[in-house]
A and B are shown apart, each in its own frame.
Chain A
Amino acid sequence: MRFVVNNVPVELVDVAADMTLLRYLRSQQNLMGTKEGCASGDCGACTVLVGRQGADAMVYEAVNACICPLGSLQDCHIVTVEGLTPAPGVMHPVQAAMVECHGSQCGFCTPGFVMSLAGLQLAAGNELAKADEDTQRAAVIDAISGNLCRCTGYRPIIAAGLFVLKEASLKEASLKKTTLKKPAQTARFVQNWVPNAPLAGTGGAPADTHNRNLSDGASGYWQPHTEIELQQLLVEYPHARLVAGGTDLMLEVTQQYKNLPQLIDLNRIESLSEILIGSDEIVLGAAANYSALEKTLAELAPEFVALLKRLGSRQIRNRGTLGGNICNASPIADAPPYLLVMDAELELVNSKGGSRRELLAHFYRNYKQTSLAADEYLARIRIARARLAQPLKLFKITKRYEDDISAVMGAFCWSGATTNEFKIAFGGMAAIPKRASVTEQFLTGSNWCVSGDVDEGILAQACELLRSEFSPLSDVRASAAYRMAMACNLLKKACYEFAAEAFGKVTEARLFHHA
């Protein structure tokens, strides 16, 4: 396979399918600036930028190298902290700002933060330069949401991020602050990099090169470019695992030390990462990553996008996909409750090219079991536009606000005062993400709300029904009793807001804007 690390092109013939980018950088490139703090995607010490050819320029995103399969990086530009420094003695503006603001103490987390902030500056620096401070601060915090620091308490790191964004707005007059180089310099450095071979992914290359075994004999990493190729691979390698973002799958390698000898990567199949906005429905490619969904759905599905801002971290969202979230079949995954109340429909395709449609509600069979056949993959997720237009409330309960797995995830959809129909689903309340059908039926058509006033008695009865419908477990994230209490209170919260909004009353301010 072929990619570029900093500005050195690399050709590899012999690489294990489950080799992670972090292990490769540290053990084979001697790039020791990228650190391992957890090997599970949680700490961000391993953050690097991965650049891909976009429509008109390279597009860089921060990713967790520790759980990123190297095989997925064919034709990519990998920038590590060493690659940010164009020459000895010169610092990237983010590096200079981190020094200036006293943003490092033990320094172990620092390269990861530098990369996350450099990623922000590359992706949105110019645009954010003109924004107000609240917007800038939110952007900085979002960019470092996947970076843990145990020493500094983050304040100086946030200050460094803001400093860089502000500097960009002072481009012309920036000579005063001589310690900082203009951000444009680095942007130019990175963007001037031209791969010495044409980038693939634009279609047209013959299938055999894509299907070429990128790895050593016993194992293989395949990156098909079309669904047809994918189907062929499913026939040829019935034991291969599918990998999209790898943010669930790769933990088997880094936490359980498993070998994954055969991997088929879904990232390069355009038809699986497309997001189509039709007049009747939206069709989400199963391999579209969360960051792409956030961008595309901001107007159409604001509540869902707000929820995504709390799913994992920026680094995780740059890799993780909806398809992975659904197929991993975790009862505490965040997207399924939303998709359940949307009556989302899955398009499942098998190795012979045959496809079937199934409601997500029917897809989950039992704990971690789905209706997905061994030779099937999830291709697309469909949501009706009509459903998207209905009032919706999503709430995620966690110990920590950012980058935490749900104790309870509640999704509530109400069709409005006239039809008065409820759809309710929970994550974390059962062995699978599950609709509260009994409670839904009870509330649908009920007098739970009379001209904006909520009938507490009816809500209390609804909660009784919830209690009969669910029997959650106690675990490291929450007790069963708290989960149950939250299911009830989130329902109430949703109802208060539905009622107030429907009748133009003031809703009580929320503690958090997102979910």
Chain B
Amino acid sequence: MRRIVVNAELSPAANTGNAPGGVGHSIAHESAHKHVRGTAEYVDDLPLLPGTLFVATGQSAKPHARIRAIDLSAVKSASGVIDVIVQSDIPGKVDVGPVYLGDPLLAGDLVEFIGQAIFAVAATSFEAAQRAAVLAKIEYEELPAQLTIEDSLTAQSFVLPQHQLLLGDPDASIETAPHQLSGEIFVRGQEHFYLEGQISEARLTEDGGIHVISSTQHPTEIQKLVAEVLAIPLHLVVAEVRRMGGGFGGKETQAAPLACIAALFAQRNRRPVRYRMPRRDDMIQTGKRHDFLNRWRVGFNREGKLLGVDLQLAGKCGYSPDLSEGIVDRAMFHADNAYFLNSARILGLRCKTHTVSNTAFRGFGGPKGMMAVETFLEDIARQLGMDPLDVRKANLYQPGADETPYGQKIEQHVLPILIERLEKSSDYRARRIAITEFNNTHRHLKKGIALTPVKFGISFTAKHLNQAGALLQIYTDGSLLINHGGTEMGQGLYTKIQQIVASAFGVSVNRVMVSSTRTDKVPNTSPTAASSGTDLNGMAAKDACDQIKADLVSFACEHFNLAPAQIIFKNDLVILGENQLDFPAFIKLAYINRVALSATGHYRTPKIHYDRATAKGQPFLYFANGAAVSEVTLDCLTGEYKVDQVDILHDVGKSLNPAIDIGQIEGGFIQGMGWLTTEELLWDEQGRVISNSPANYKIPTAFDVPEIFNIELFDEPNLENTIHLSKAVGEPPLMLAISVWAALRDACSSTTNYQFSPRLDTPATPERIYWALQDCVAFNKTAAVKPGTTEEDFNVTT
């Protein structure tokens, strides 16, 4: 059996770094040594200050209701309870909506989802708070609740206005096309399941301000909302985060309510407050990836080329807008995935439901948009009797067919070459033949294979967020301290920044310390999201390095009477013409000569713009690309399956750290696989989340990892001038997992001799696979042409 394990020590790119560990080297995560020893600190690990209070919230039991009466006496008198607050106790702003209003910190007289916080309790222990929070007596007057996308479409009830992209005349193109088809897919959301649950600690400062330590991807927003809720100026609030135990988008806006409530109690009681959500509350009270219902009508020609696409993407936003504007936009911007649609209408709807407000999740809408086009390209292939790979390839963007529905032209055509390479290296065609052979000789086991591409646009779609700051300080012993606006959630941002700074000065990485992200060090930061952490903060850090370096060089020129070209920083030394000094000695000298050794760097992404009125522009600086081949085997009697092999080729530009990039690719892939296979978010008819614990919501385990898992980097520089010509890597690999879903569908389709592609909503649990196979049986019964598999081969029982 072939079992290749990716080699983390890939050839270190020799582009800049020369001292050990610089840019291009596969150095370990900066906290790895602490992770494995258990000494890396997360918020709940901080020593408890004396008098610390713990928080829990009282939750709505109804999806949509007016609160008639609320009796908190039992809560207040419960053992250990110190303070209880309701909405009217908030001194400042009540609404903590990140972009649009709609998210009251505590519900007033209206509740809009089961689990919504109505009041908050502070008690002397975590358990005391939890026990007290269920003691309230609340009288509701129930209102009609919209619980599904269909409910919302029927009621035409949306949290934000619709938006539409238009390219050419899709209606005419579809009508005149030789072939048409229509269809829909329901793509379920996903629970983040970051291993560290949401948590914030608030400490009062002597000026009546607040120091919040939070597990958040967006410290600046925490600072702003805490200040607004407490009605104090921003400069009295410091938000700090050293690291998160995972974020994945779930801590972009969802961390703020915890910080605000903790801060409120801290202010009222003049005591430190820690608010940690136990897993169940986290799964009930915080937003998830949106469900999407995608519907389409497409026209295509005999070669399988798309001529026109009419697509409606309806996202289940929950009760408030949160980030749904950008999320549905990004779904629309990725509805083409890697393909030229010729002419298209893409309509995005933001459905209001009386469920928790859905939020950012790795891919931010992109994955859901892509599922539509990947589905109908396969349907086209089945209809024309082609291999889905050939239909996918025929429709790729290429020179001349390069305009996206939002008007941006694709300039760097990576995918045609990348797919060609992967098709060869993965042996796709030979394996396709072997699979057909296998399927012909096995009664109940069927294999499937699929190659799917990903093209993912990099930049925040909200233009003002595309900026970053950094603060670099060099001390007289030659040690460097860098702060920046990005947060570390495991993605290796701190490590890459450390490498960027080390390379800038030609010093080894151990000289560079990256410390907590704090709003009093680098202000007005953007969330660490949209895969942009390194692109933005790396550039800002480099800007700070360049400033200090320029001062150091001009000092050295003057001091040693040299030309700038004679001064080189490398190998922990500073080469000064014929002479050299070690880095600390040189820094000391600069200090003695009164050179400034700190600088703030800043970066704003060039070129990007988007006009909502015309729905045209260039929302992305560039695209990250990749493709994956997945092979699966399924059991037709039960719908159970196994992923046998996965081959990935992914474009990260010039890698800053191949090991970390590969980690993002394989981690993103497995997370995406979970989204599309075993992770099933479910609500009951009352609107209650019933997948509310890891006992009934199943993220992948080690067993699910394909035994053969080959990952390679497509080692070509970014054409845009990004940090060391690298490309963002956080989100795009998640969507490579669409290949697993497509392979499962391929295996199902094999039972109809590839004449029919059953609808396969996600996640493709064994149960959904089973029902898809029953659809294949039904197709075989009605098919005119004799299909490959008969009912007996299935032993259908419905």
Q: Which residues of A contact B (CB under 8 A)?
A: 30-40, 42-43, 45, 80-82, 85, 91, 94-96, 98-111, 114, 133-134, 137, 140-141, 144-145, 147-159, 255, 257, 395, 397-405, 407, 456, 459, 463, 475-479, 481-482, 484-486, 488-490, 492-493, 508-509, 511-512
In the bound complex, CA of A42 to CA of B693 (Å)? 9
* Interface pair A148/B195, CB less than 8 Å apart: yes
Does residue B779 face the partner (Cβ distance < 8 Å to A)?
no
Q: Is B31 positioned at the interface, with any CB of A under 8 Å from its CB?
A: yes
Closest A-chain residue to B443, C-beta based? A508
The residues of B that contact A38 with a CB separation of less than 8 Å are 279, 693-694
Q: Are A98 and B700 in contact (CB under 8 A)?
A: no
Known pairs A107-B490, A114-B36, A153-B668. 5 more at Cβ < 8 A?
Answer: A81-B37, A109-B195, A149-B195, A476-B691, A492-B795
For B33, the chain A residues whose CB sits under 8 A away are 91, 99
A150 to B26, CA, bound (A): 21
Report yes or no: B642 in contact with A511, Cβ–Cβ below 8 A: yes
Contact A511 B705 (CB under 8 A): no
CB distance from A279 to the nearest CB of B (A): 38
Q: What would be 7 A-B contacts, judged by CB atoms less than 8 Å apart?
A: A30-B47, A40-B693, A105-B29, A137-B707, A140-B702, A150-B195, A492-B795
**In the complex, which residues 697-725 of chain B have their Cβ closer than 8 Å to any Cβ of chain A?**
698-705, 707, 709
Chain B 34-49 interface residues, beta-carbon cutoff 8 Å to A: 34-42, 44-45, 47
- Is A150 a contact of B248 with CB atoms below 8 Å? yes
Q: For the complex, is B72 an interface residue (Cβ under 8 Å from A)?
A: no
Q: Is the CB of B705 within 8 A of A476?
A: no
Cα A147 to Cα B701 in complex, Å, equals 7
Residues of B contacting A157 in the complex (Cβ-Cβ under 8 angstroms): 702
Q: Residues of B with Cβ closer than 8 Å to A?
A: 1, 3, 5-6, 8, 26, 28-29, 31-42, 44-45, 47, 127, 130-131, 192-197, 243-248, 278-280, 442-445, 489-492, 633-635, 637-638, 640-642, 659-660, 662-663, 666-671, 678, 680, 682, 690-691, 693-696, 698-705, 707, 709, 765-767, 770-771, 792, 795, 797-798
Instruction: A88 to B31: give the CA distance in the assembly, Å.
Output: 16
B659, B662, B702: the one contacting A145 at CB < 8 Å is B702
Taking a contact as CB atoms closer than 8 A, the residue among A114, A152, A490 that contacts B667 in the complex is A152
Q: Are B694 and A40 in contact, CB atoms less than 8 angstroms apart?
A: yes
Chain B residues closer than 8 Å to A98, beta-carbon distance? 32, 35-36
B5: chain A residues within 8 A (beta carbon): 155, 159
| Contact of A511 (CB < 8 Å), options: B635, B667, B701 | B635
Which of B667, B669, B703 has most chain A Cβ within 10 Å?
Answer: B703
Which residues in A have their C-beta under 8 angstroms from that of B669?
Answer: 153
CB distance from B374 to the nearest CB of A (A): 21
In the complex, the answer to whether B767 meets A106 with C-beta atoms within 8 Å is no
| Chain A hits for B280, CB < 8 A | 255
CA separation between A397 and B443, bound complex, in Å?
20
Choose among A42, A103, A145, A155 the residue that contacts B695 (Cβ–Cβ < 8 A). Answer: A42
Task: Return chain B residues, CB-CB under 8 Å to A399.
Answer: 678, 680, 698, 765-767
Closest Cβ of chain B to A478, distance in Å, is 6
Contact of B38 among A33, A151, A159 (CB under 8 A): A33
**Would you call A397 and B699 a contact (CB within 8 A)?**
no
A155 and B35 CA atoms in complex are apart in Å by 17
Given contacts A33-B37, A508-B444, contact A486 B638 (CB under 8 A): yes
Q: Contacts A99-B36, A456-B792, A511-B633 given: A106-B196 contact, CB under 8 Å?
A: yes
CB–CB A405/B195 < 8 A: no
The complex places the Cα of A94 from the Cα of B38 at a distance, in Å, of 13
A459 to B637, CA, bound (A): 14
Kindly state the separation between the CA atoms of A37 and B698 in the bound complex, as whole angstroms: 14
Cα(A404)–Cα(B642), bound, Å: 16
Contact assessment for A110 and B36 in the assembled complex, using a CB-CB cutoff below 8 Å: yes
Q: How far is the CA of A134 from the CA of B708 in the complex (A)?
A: 12
* Whole-angstrom distance between the Cβ of A82 and the nearest chain B Cβ: 6
Q: Chain A residues near B445 (CB, 8 Å)?
A: 508-509, 511
Q: A325–B489 Cα gap in the complex (Å)?
A: 39
Bound complex: CA A91 to CA B792 (Å): 59
- Taking a contact as CB atoms under 8 Å apart, the answer to whether A35 and B444 are in contact is no
In the complex, the chain A residue whose C-beta lies closest to that of B31 is A107
Q: Would B3 and A400 count as touching, CB distance under 8 A?
A: no
A493 vs B196: C-alpha distance when bound (angstroms): 42
Report A-chain residues with C-beta under 8 Å of the C-beta of B633. Answer: 511
Q: State in angstroms the CA–CA spacing of A81 and B45 once bound together.
A: 14
Taking CB atoms, residues of chain B closer than 8 Å to A148 are: 193, 195, 694, 699, 701
In contact, A154 and B36 (Cβ under 8 angstroms):
no
Contact flag A141-B36 (CB < 8 Å), given A102-B28, A159-B5, A492-B637: no
Interface of B is mostly: loop
User: From residue A199, how far is it (CB to closest CB) to chain B in Å?
Assistant: 27
Report how far A86 CA is from B45 CA in the complex, Å.
22
- Given A96, A105, A154, A397, which contacts B705 in the complex, CB threshold below 8 Å? A154
- Best-surrounded residue of B37, B698, B792 (most CB of chain A within 10 A): B37
Shortest CB-to-CB span from B419 to chain A, Å, is: 22
Chain B residue nearest in CB terms to A105: B490
In the complex, which of the residues A43, A80, A108 contacts B694, with contact meaning CB atoms closer than 8 Å?
Answer: A43
Known contacts A141-B702, A257-B131; A102/B660 CB under 8 A: yes
Say yes or no: A402 contacts B667, CB within 8 Å.
no
Q: Which residue of A lies closest to B490 (CB)?
A: A106
- In the bound complex, CA of A106 to CA of B487 (Å): 11
Residues of chain A lying within 8 A (CB to CB) of residue B766? 397-399
CA gap between A96 and B36 in the complex, in Å: 8
Give A317 to B381 CA distance when docked, in angstroms.
47
Known: A38-B693, A508-B443, A511-B635. A111 touches B38 (CB 8 A): yes
Minimum CB distance partner of B707 in chain A: A137
Distance between A211 CB and nearest chain B CB, rounded to angstroms: 28
Measured between alpha carbons, how far is A43 from B694 in the docked complex, in Å? 7
Contact of A402 among B37, B246, B701, B709 (CB under 8 A): B701
Chain B residue at minimum C-beta to C-beta distance from A159: B5
Partner of A108, one of B127, B196, B670, B771: B196
- Which 8 pairs from chain A and chain B are nearest by CB? A33-B38, A106-B490, A108-B245, A107-B35, A153-B670, A105-B490, A42-B694, A81-B38
* Chain B nearest CB, measured from A351 CB (Å): 32
In Å, the complex CA distance between A82 and B39 comes to 8
Q: Which residues of the partner chain B approach A151 to less than 8 Å between Cβ atoms?
A: 195, 246, 490, 663, 667
Cα separation A147 to B699 with both chains bound (whole Å): 11
Cβ A145 vs Cβ B703 within 8 A = yes
Chain A residues within an 8 Å CB radius of B694: 38, 40, 42-43, 148
Q: Which residues of A contact B690 (CB under 8 A)?
A: 475-476
Could you tell me if B696 and A405 are in contact, using CB atoms closer than 8 angstroms?
yes
Q: Are A156 and B698 in contact (CB under 8 A)?
A: no
CB-CB under 8 A for A489 and B795, given A30-B47, A43-B195: yes
- By a CB distance below 8 angstroms, the chain A residues around B662 are 102
CB distance from B517 to the nearest CB of A (A): 15
Check if A108 sits within 8 Å of B640, measured CB to CB. no
Tell me, in angstroms, the Cα distance from A403 to B698 when the chains sit together: 9
Alpha-carbon separation in the docked complex, A114 to B32 (Å): 12
Which residues of the other chain, B, contact A486 by a CB distance below 8 angstroms? 638
Inside 8 A of B702's CB, which chain A residues have their CB?
Answer: 140-141, 144-145, 147, 154, 157-158, 402
Interface residue from B42, B492, B709 paired with A105 (Cβ < 8 Å)? B492
In the complex the two chains form, what is the Cα distance from A94 to B35 in whole Å? 12
A residues near B192, Cβ cutoff 8 Å: 150
Verify A91–B36 contact, CB threshold 8 A: yes
Contacting pair B195 A104 (CB below 8 A) = no
Partner among A101, A108, A158, A407 whose Cβ is within 8 Å of the Cβ of B246:
A108
* B795–A400 CB distance below 8 A: no
Interface centre among A38, A91, A114, A144, by most chain B C-beta atoms within 10 angstroms, is: A38
Query: Which residue on chain A has the smallest CB distance to residue B38?
Result: A33
Contact check, B36 vs A104: say whether CB atoms are below 8 A apart: yes
Asked if A153 and B667 make an inter-chain contact with CB atoms under 8 angstroms apart, the answer reads yes
Instruction: Report Cα–Cα, A456/B794, bound state, in Å.
Output: 11
Q: Which chain A positions have C-beta within 8 A of B634?
A: 511
Most B C-beta atoms less than 10 A away, residue of A107, A140, A403? A107
Task: Give Cα A405–Cα B682 distance, bound, in whole angstroms.
Answer: 16
